[in-house]
Chain A
Amino acid sequence: MLEQPVGRIRFMDEQQVNLDGFAREAPALGLVALRSPADPAPSLRVVDGVVVELDQKSRDDFDTIDRYIAAHGLDLTVAAEAMALGDVAAARLFVDPAVPRAEIVRLVAGMTPAKLARVVAELRPPELMMAMTKLRARRTPSNQAHVTNLLDDPLLLAADAATAAAYGFRELETTVPVLADAPSNAVAVTVGAAVGAAGVLVQCAVEEAMELEMGMRGLVSYAETVSLYGTEGVFVDGDDTPWSKALLTSGYASRGIKMRVSSGAGAEVLMAGAEGCSMLYLESRCVSLARAIGAQGVQNGGIDGASVAAAVPRGVRELMAENVMVMARNLESCSGNDALMSESHVRRTSRTLPILLAGSDFICSGFGSIQRYDNMFGPSNWNAEDIDDWLAMQRDWGVDGGLRTAAPESLGELRTRAVEAVRDVYRVLGLGDFTDEQLARAVDAAGSKELVPTDALAVLDAAQTIRSTGLTALDIARALHDTGHDEAASRVLAMVVARVQGDHLQTAAIFDEDMRVLSLVTDPNEYAGPGTGYEPSPARQAEIDGIRQERGVEDLRVSQSSFAGGFLTSSGPAAFGTDPRDVVIGVSPGVGRSVWKTLSGLLVVDVLQELLDGLEEEGCRARIVRINSTIDLGMVGLTAARLAGSGIGIGLQGKGTALIHRRDLPPLANLELYSMAPTLTPDMYRLLGANAGRHAKGATPVPARNPYTDEAIEARYHTSVIALVALERDCVDPAAAPEELRYAS
């Protein structure tokens, strides 16, 4: 009989993390992160300037990858020195801030793939972070977005591209659910990006030859979908060889187009071609090959295979180690955090956080700037759902994750300009027409499910026309200019004019918004410990800090004053009551002056009405007194109690916190207390009033209980609490006596 596990386990089974698959290490299948028994020991033998043995393999046994790396990927002048270094000794150099990046780059150029994998495997998580901080090529970190949708809708693509650019992404990557749509998507995203900001690089990830063709025409400005694999079998299955990739790499450069290659753990495992090797070793071969063929950068960190790596022990650490290998080989790192690797928010954050903190050339090689369902690469580890989280994390840690807040009040106008630009370009170039209704929906839509159904054939027609007429970026710039989109026209033109200079072909290049190239050459990372390396400029820091949800005391003062009403008027100093049924409600100094609304959203006067009603139910006579000398709730309540004929007082702070006090108790004691102001309801205040009446009559009521919530109630309200307390504090006059308030409901 199968016994059911206990409730605790059943409950834990229901949590999101248990939707994830976890694999036992299986080296034979390549399901092993950092080291497998089949990984070769590092070795290098050179005879007369020719590599005759590489990682235990002799020249005659070289596969195509070994062969290319042996011929082009190693600096033989430094190889003997580098290979002689112990793994731990070399790993320490990666971490030591006193050892400059250039020294690591020099040595690693002489390390074989197996050697570099062994060295990087020595780095523990904080050491990987140190290594990444020091070794990334570009000083200024950056980020890349995915911009796609289910329908390949050009209007929404343009609006979302402009939005992504406004949020600070410096590379936008689109792709297609329908391959033939690609040129239309490329044009729409290029136009939208140009409306959003200057200097945003755009790519359209499709099959190699089509991607190159679109690049040559300037419909896109960089390429990334040039895949490398760690074993020859998988490489050839991918219909390429190191030489074809090398030629392709040169093909892009020959037209002044930025490109990087893609690799990453898991790809070989998924194609059953890992040959029993660890993910880190296979990826080290990819990274060596990337350098050998002359690519300036690598997208890795388990791209499509991220969840494969994440399924095995130390897999997430392996993903980050992949990025560090790229940096150590002096290449641009576009560091994964791409495909969603877990259903658990905790795990996906854990996977990304070290890289966000350390900073990378591109922290995400595809942050889904659109909603999960619109991401045609599959959902990313970070999506539109998470943009505000990302901005908050940047602000929490004071780090530059590449994003900034797009002003909400100007986003509608920006998106409108983007869709109008695409409409005009499509019309002028004979690519199609759009209705005003389509435009309006695309501007407002948070995703493609909110659009007017698109005519799929219209997109296909547009794409075919773009391809068959040989449309180029010049035609797009001209069309933009002729329809009055001058700024976007100049920006599209600037991206192809930059090709003539070619400075963005250097390692880790992006354009800033003034079209200056930031790269290994112009913006080198020179981190050498605290006080060195990248620090956001004051303007950039202000962007990171100034999220749209930020509030100050002045905001709260304005908000509170909008609820002001003349319901409470002073009628002079408060007297001592003598009636045994006299109960005094003491309110804090700001009530009726600057504080009008409690944290639960109830107006203070409504709270007072509930308390009065509760007291009346018990036949008590109630007075309201403002305690002017303190904001301390205990003292407010005790002062009220001492004024009351019954000796029972209620203390109420403007934020809604309330208690019942008795004249003979010490200040910090009380009879009953509501400390959770945000969750209090009218009924609860009425009960508190009634209970105060019962205490006044000498009864012992069942105490009112604080409502319980498992929400992050303090996170939600502490900012308001601090501001409310500041408003109350401004009203304190230590010398002022309590004053009686007249209340008119």
Chain B
Amino acid sequence: MSRAFSGKPADDLTIDALVRDELAPDDVRIHPDTLEAQAVVAERHGNPQLAANFRRAAELARFPESEILALYEALRPRRSTMDELDALADDLAARDAPRCAALVREAAAAYAARGLLR
């Protein structure tokens, strides 16, 4: 059975719990382990790219919303310098988000080649 990001079992996520003020946003937030499990399912159904996406998502699942929005912003065209992207990738790698770090490094190389750095 799945657990929410907060650790609460899915079965406890009821309207009664809500009314008792026992549900917080993290109780209806997906757990990284669940995303990993969904990645396995996607792989079994012929879509390794969807699986890779779920695994990147599992890394992001631990980050606050503002950080995800900032990361997205940093990857938009001509928003970041090479140094900034490098630093971002290092930071992600250091925080147990190697797949996202790899995505940023790959983007940095592509942006350098195609004139999309700031």
Interface residue ranges, A against B (CB under 8 Å): 63-64, 67-68, 71-73, 75, 102, 105-106, 109, 208-209, 212-213, 216-218, 232, 236, 239-241, 243-244, 246-256, 291-296, 330-331, 472-474, 477-478, 481, 486, 489-490, 493, 496-497, 499-503, 505-507, 520-521
Tell me, in angstroms, the Cα distance from A64 to B25 when the chains sit together: 37
Q: Say yes or no for B53: interface residue by CB 8 A criterion.
A: yes
Contact partner, A247, options B4, B61, B100, B116, Cβ 8 Å: B100
**Contact of B82 with A by CB under 8 A:** no
Residues of B within 8 Å of A472, CB to CB, are 25
Chain A residues with CB under 8 Å of B106's CB are 71, 243
CB of A254 within 8 A of CB of B58, answer: yes
11 interchain pairs (CB within 8 A)? A243-B104, A244-B76, A247-B56, A247-B75, A250-B60, A250-B100, A254-B57, A294-B51, A481-B19, A486-B15, A501-B10
Contact across chains for A474 and B60 when beta carbons are under 8 A apart? no
Given A247-B71, A500-B13: A102 touches B54 (CB 8 Å cut-off): no
Q: Which residues 19-67 in B have Cβ within 8 Å of A in the complex?
A: 19, 23-25, 27-31, 34-35, 37-38, 41-42, 45-54, 56-61, 63, 65
Residues B15 and A489 in contact, CB atoms below 8 Å apart: yes
Known: A209-B69, A243-B107, A507-B50. 15 other contacts (CB 8 A): A63-B114, A209-B72, A243-B75, A244-B75, A244-B76, A247-B56, A255-B65, A330-B45, A474-B24, A478-B18, A497-B13, A499-B28, A500-B30, A501-B2, A507-B42
Question: Is A255 touching B77 in the complex (CB atoms < 8 A)?
Answer: no
| Contact assessment for A212 and B114 in the assembled complex, using a CB-CB cutoff below 8 Å | no
How far, in whole Å, are A439 and B106 apart by their CA atoms in the complex? Answer: 54
Task: Give residues in B with beta carbon < 8 Å to A.
Answer: 2-5, 10, 13-15, 18-19, 23-25, 27-31, 34-35, 37-38, 41-42, 45-54, 56-61, 63, 65, 68-69, 71-73, 75-77, 100, 103-104, 106-107, 110-111, 113-114, 116
Q: Is B49 a contact partner of A505 (Cβ separation < 8 A)? A: no
B58 contacts across to A, CB distance below 8 A: 254
Do A241 and B77 touch (CB < 8 A)?
A: yes
The answer to whether A500 touches B49 (Cβ under 8 A) is: no
Contact assessment for B35 and A502 in the assembled complex, using a CB-CB cutoff below 8 Å: yes
Q: CA separation between A246 and B35, bound complex, in Å?
A: 16
9 interchain residue pairs of minimum CB distance: A294-B53, A253-B57, A243-B107, A256-B30, A254-B60, A244-B75, A250-B56, A496-B28, A254-B57
| Given A241-B111, A472-B25, A501-B34, A64 contacting B69 (CB threshold 8 A) | no
Bound complex: CA A106 to CA B45 (Å): 11
Of the candidates B14, B24, B65, the one having the most CB atoms from chain A within 10 angstroms of its own CB is B65
A294–B56 CB distance below 8 A: yes
B28 touches A497 (CB 8 A): yes
Tell which of B2, B52, B71, B113 touches A502, judged by Cβ atoms closer than 8 Å.
Answer: B2
Check A241 against B76 for contact (C-beta < 8 Å): yes
Q: How far is the CA of A109 from the CA of B48 in the complex (A)?
A: 10
Cβ-neighbour of A251 out of B10, B15, B45, B72 (below 8 A):
B72
Q: Which of B31, B45, B53, B76 contacts A240 (CB 8 A)?
A: B76
